[in-house]
Amino acid sequence: MLEIKNLHAQVNGKKILNGINLSVRKGEIHAIMGPNGSGKSTLSSVLVGNPAFVVTEGHVVYEGKNLLELSPEDRSREGIFLSFQYPVEIPGVSMVNFMRAAVNEHRKYKGLEPVPATDFLKLMREKRSIVELDNKLAGRSVNEGFSGGEKKRNEIFQMAMLEPKLAILDETDSGLDIDALRIVAGGVNKLKTNENATIVITHYQRLLEYIKPDVVHVLYKGRIIKTAGPELALELEEKGYDWLKTED
């Protein structure tokens, strides 16, 4: 599904990624762990086409397409979804208008008609229940005045609405209390099928108790320095990252 080869990227002239290689197949959950500043968030930003990040070398092939050539909106419509570490507040844009626009753009891309208004509201109701958001959601402005936990639940709600093939969760656990974490992780697990894939970017092992990865990677100084099974996460939790750094 996703094939990253020797990916180099920089932001504001500063090199952050220094040759990432990663292969994700459908049905898999990959965890990417690493200390602060190792390039985890840069990797997710590059994959969704954030214009602040410049790819200087390497290839990314997604579902047979050259991903780096696609606009951010086309990447979304091709099925890539990023759960932002810091979801943006957009005063004046209601969730219902935002999601209607997004869902209908996805449908248009597939040659489908827009969803009728009543069906759409039903769809929203159904999906927001996955992350236990209440019925005031539709009328609220995007993320405006949301608590930290609500923002992350709102990300997973959007993911549920858009049904991506490849979901990237960027530090979705940061700033969450245990209940919110349970709800968010529960939402992600409900959306998991054998046809889609997930990349979980996290600093701590905590989230991985809820979302079980098939593969764990350690990112350090812009490169993947270790790849192993889920047991690696536990080992990192116990020993920290330093033993890997010296190994490198």
Could you list the residues that contact other proteins (CB under 8 A)?
48-51, 71-73, 75-77, 82, 84, 87-93, 97-98, 101-102, 105-106, 109, 141-142, 158, 162
Cross-strand pairs, 65: 62
> In angstroms, what is the minimal distance from the CB of 87 to other proteins?
7
Site of tokens 């005045």: 145
> In angstroms, what is the minimal distance from the CB of 20 to other proteins?
20
> Which of residues 76 and 198 has its CB atom nearest to other proteins in the complex?
76
The SS3 call for residue 164 is: coil
> Which of residues 64 and 91 has its CB atom nearest to other proteins in the complex?
91
Q: How far is CA 128 from CA 50, 80, 132, 141, 187, in A?
A: 27, 20, 6, 15, 10
> In angstroms, what is the minimal distance from the CB of 216 to other proteins?
26
> In angstroms, what is the minimal distance from the CB of 151 to other proteins?
12
> Which of residues 72 and 229 has its CB atom nearest to other proteins in the complex?
72
For residue 95, the surrounding DSSP H or E stretch is: helix 95-109
For residue 234, the surrounding DSSP H or E stretch is: helix 231-239
Contacts of 168 (CB under 8 A, 6+ apart): 44, 47, 48, 80, 81, 82, 83, 198, 199, 201
> In angstroms, what is the minimal distance from the CB of 82 to other proteins?
6
> Which of residues 49 and 187 has its CB atom nearest to other proteins in the complex?
49
> Which of residues 93 and 225 has its CB atom nearest to other proteins in the complex?
93
